Chains A and B, each alone.
Chain A
Amino acid sequence: MRTPLADKVVEIKPSGIRKFFDIVSEMPDAISLGVGEPDFDTPWHIRNEGIRALEAGKTFYTSNSGLKELKIEVCNYIERKQGVRYNPANEVLVTVGGSEAIDMGLRAMINPGDEVLIPQPSYVSYEPCAVLAGATPVVINLKAENEFRLTAAELREAITDKTKVLILPFPNNPTGAIMEKKDLEEIAEVIIEKDIFVMSDEIYSELTYKDEHVSIIAIPGMRERTIMINGFSKAYAMTGWRLGYACGPADIIAQMTKIHQFAIMCAPTTSQYAAVEALKNGDDDVKEMKESYNQRRRFLMHSFKKMGLECFEPFGAFYVFPCIKEFGMTSDEFATKFLETEKVAAVPGTAFGDSGEGFLRISYAYSMDTLRTAMERLERFVTKLRNGEI
Chain B
Amino acid sequence: MEEQLLKIIEKNSRIDLKELSVILGVEEIDVVNKLAELEAKGTICGYHTLINWENTDLESISALIEVRVTPQSGQGFDNIAERIYKYPEVHAVYLISGGYDLLVSIEGKSLKEVAAFVSEKLSAIDSVLSTATHFVLKKYKDHGTVLSKRNSDKREVITP
| A residues in contact (CB < 8 Å) with B | 14-15, 17-18, 21-22, 24-25, 35-37, 39, 123-125, 291, 294-296, 298-299, 302, 368, 372
Tell me whether B23 and A295 are in contact (CB under 8 A). yes
B142 to chain A, nearest CB (A): 18
Q: Is B138 an interface residue (CB 8 A)?
A: no
Tell me whether B160 and A17 are in contact (CB under 8 A). yes
Tell me whether B157 and A21 are in contact (CB under 8 A). yes
* Chain B residue with the shortest CB-CB distance to A125: B160
Residues of A contacting B25 in the complex (Cβ-Cβ under 8 angstroms):
294, 298
Decide if the interface of chain A is mainly helix, strand, loop or mixed: helix
B8-27 interface mask toward A, CB cutoff 8 Å, 1 = contact, 0 = none?
10000000000100111100
B6 to chain A, nearest CB (A): 13
Q: Is B4 an interface residue (CB 8 A)?
A: yes
| B residues in contact (CB < 8 Å) with A | 4, 8, 19, 22-25, 153, 155, 157-160
Residues of B contacting A124 in the complex (Cβ-Cβ under 8 angstroms):
159-160
Q: In this complex, which of A123, A124, A295, A299 has the most chain B Cβ atoms within 10 angstroms of its Cβ? A: A295
Q: How far is the CA of A276 from the CA of B19 in the complex (A)?
A: 38
B53 to chain A, nearest CB (A): 24
Residues of B contacting A372 in the complex (Cβ-Cβ under 8 angstroms):
19
25 contacts between A and B (CB under 8 A): A14-B159, A15-B160, A17-B159, A17-B160, A21-B157, A21-B159, A22-B157, A25-B157, A35-B155, A36-B160, A37-B155, A37-B158, A39-B153, A39-B155, A124-B160, A294-B25, A295-B4, A295-B23, A298-B22, A298-B23, A298-B24, A299-B22, A299-B23, A368-B23, A372-B19
B8 to chain A, nearest CB (A): 8
Q: How far is the CA of A372 from the CA of B8 in the complex (A)?
A: 16
* Chain B residue with the shortest CB-CB distance to A367: B151
Tell me whether A18 and B155 are in contact (CB under 8 A). no
Q: How far is the CA of A14 from the CA of B24 in the complex (A)?
A: 40
* Chain A residue with the shortest CB-CB distance to B160: A124
